[in-house]
Amino acid sequence: MRMLFLDLDALSPEHMSCYGYHRSTTPNIDRIAEEGIRFNNYYTSDAPCAPSRTALMTGQFGLVNGLVNHGGAAGDLRQEGKSRELMGRLSTGGALPSYLQLAADLHTVLISPFAQRHSTFSFYAGFNEIINTGKYGNESAEDVTPTALDWISRNAKKEDWFLYINYWDAHTPYRAPESFGNPFEQEPLPEWLTDEVLEQHKQKVGSHSVHELTINFREKKYTNETSPSFPRHPGDILNRDSLRQMIDGYDCGIRYMDEQLGLLFKALEEQGVWDELMIVISADHGENMGQLGLYGEHATADQATCRLPMIIRWPGMKQGHVDEGLHYHLDLLPTLADMLELPPVPEWNGISYAPALRGGAECGREYLVVSQCAHVVQRSVRFGDWLYIRTYHDGFHLFDKEMLFNVAEDPYEQHNVAARHRELCLQAVYYLNEWHDETMRKAGDAADPLWTVIHEGGPFHARGYLPGYVQRLEETGRGEHIEELVRRHPQEFPSQPHPVHAMLRGKLSGKMSKGT
């Protein structure tokens, strides 16, 4: 068996032509979708990058494996503890590559810099060959494709391999080379992004809102700075021209990457292995492109960030089918085991959807719970036509604590109807509690890492940024938001005691001065 896994970072199904997007962004991927199964309701369990890929590779929810953030104690896998043997669980078949290596006897190959980008070296567990393309995820396709083509030319005709390749062109900042041009410059923007919607987005705050599309990591600032290295990426979106620059920049990145994938597909055909090649095309997360007022980031536990493309072409199985069931990306591991007629690992949290691959049978879940703890701290419940979002830390976006969207009628999350549908919110909270109770049992005696993130001061991409952001809001005439931001996040100002503490300290000082 030969398997190709294409992990296309930050690729949103909303911007793929095979998922109905009005621009032809993915003609080569579209071909694979026609020959296989396209999953329409496929979600990461944990977002964004490191939590998502860790959940996929371990087959476990972030609540179980412990990695849900991009820094702090929850930025690393939970230790196995006393039961750990000479080789840990991931080395002995608990991880996706080690399982394929040991149980399926595949030669496993990774072309990716991801482990070094996020210090997630457990990502390597079970790969026979590891090729780090060397730019920490700042690669463009022209950095990846030659490496992949070289491996294909030397190895494709061999039997029994699994080749995992990362592409990064859809990841912010958008970087398609200038020579690629803009094939979409005469095409309309998405219809839902009207002038009225843009005006509403101008009232939003937080990183990657229309006023601050850039993060200065060194100085911990949300800014509208631009870089000559990324001319396709604007610093803010205050009119239709900069809105077009943002949308076109993202779409050009996708189309450029798709053309590079076409080169891989051609090479595999020339090697004579195409007809029997199993292909998986997916992503670690999607991208907010206006949803919830955010652009060019994967920062929430919503439909935009957490819904993934998933296309599987398995020769001899169902072709040209669209699956509407609810699935997690970590369901892939037991699915592969099922398809290969191998036993699944008991510690995996996924459920096989092999019946969908074999015959198009519906085998989705009743509901999904997805988490985001790196930019905001949210857990969401996807059920029926609904998406319920519970916010524990708003990442300075001033999100409502509860949000409810009908994703069938309102796929771009413009109308929070939580106040009008309390019964649906209660149903979602029941699902959330049910999932939490069941999953905590799988985590043993470990704490919920979501609360680790909260107790450490918040998500990595927000922690420590508010003082500088308050200053920016004042300087840009948006000071009306400051009071509520400070009220919600007093921990960001440790030198400013709570008014009650200040009063009590004042009284104590007075008593001490009187000698009482």
Locate the domains of the chain by residue range. 2-77+87-193+235-365
What pLDDT is recorded for position 494?
Answer: 78
The predicted-structure confidence for 363-382, as pLDDT tens digits, reads as follows 999 999 999 999 999 999 99
What pLDDT is recorded for position 203?
Answer: 96
The predicted-structure confidence for 140-168, as pLDDT tens digits, reads as follows 999 999 999 999 999 999 999 999 999 99
- What count of other Cβ atoms lies within 10 Å of the Cβ of residue 30? 18
- pLDDT mean over 308-331: 96
What pLDDT is recorded for position 495?
Answer: 73
Rounded-to-integer distance, Cα 323 and Cα 315, Å = 17
Strands 37-43 and 307-313: antiparallel
What is the reported pTM? 0.95
The predicted-structure confidence for 35-66, as pLDDT tens digits, reads as follows 999 999 999 999 999 999 999 999 999 999 99
* Whether the predicted pLDDT of 516 surpasses 70: no
Between 495 and 225, name the one with better pLDDT. Answer: 225
- Per DSSP, 147 falls in state H
Do the Cβ atoms of 98 and 126 come closer than 8 Å?
A: yes
Between 500 and 194, name the one with better pLDDT. Answer: 194
Return the sign of the alpha-carbon dihedral for residues 438, 439, 444, 447: negative
What pLDDT is recorded for position 515?
Answer: 59
* Whether the predicted pLDDT of 493 surpasses 90: no
Identify the three-state secondary structure at position 156. Answer: coil
* Whether the predicted pLDDT of 263 surpasses 70: yes
- pLDDT mean over 237-262: 98
Return the HEC string of 427-447. HHHHHHHHHHHHHHHHCCCCC
pLDDT band at 510 (very low <50, low <70, confident <90, very high): confident
* Whether the predicted pLDDT of 501 surpasses 80: no
* Whether the predicted pLDDT of 70 surpasses 90: yes
Strands 221-223 and 277-282: unpaired
What pLDDT is recorded for position 132?
Answer: 98
* Whether the predicted pLDDT of 507 surpasses 90: no
Phi, psi values for residue 164, rounded to 5°: -110, 120
Phi, psi values for residue 385, rounded to 5°: -95, 15
DSSP string, 14-52: GG-GGGT-SS---HHHHHHHHHSEEEEEEE-SEESHHHH
Query: Which conformational region is residue 415 in: left (phi greater than 0), alpha (psi within -120 to 50 degrees), or beta?
Result: beta
What pLDDT is recorded for position 512?
Answer: 66
What pLDDT is recorded for position 497?
Answer: 67
Q: Nearest-CA neighbor of 295 among 211, 213, 393, 224?
A: 213
Provide the CATH topology of domain 2-77+87-193+235-365.
Answer: Alkaline Phosphatase, subunit A (3.40.720)
What pLDDT is recorded for position 496?
Answer: 66
Q: How far is CA 462 from CA 221, 292, 312, 454, 457, in A?
A: 10, 17, 36, 11, 9
pLDDT band at 212 (very low <50, low <70, confident <90, very high): very high
- pLDDT mean over 94-106: 98
- pLDDT mean over 247-253: 98
* Whether the predicted pLDDT of 479 surpasses 60: yes
Mean pLDDT of the chain: 96
Phi, psi values for residue 163, rounded to 5°: -115, 120
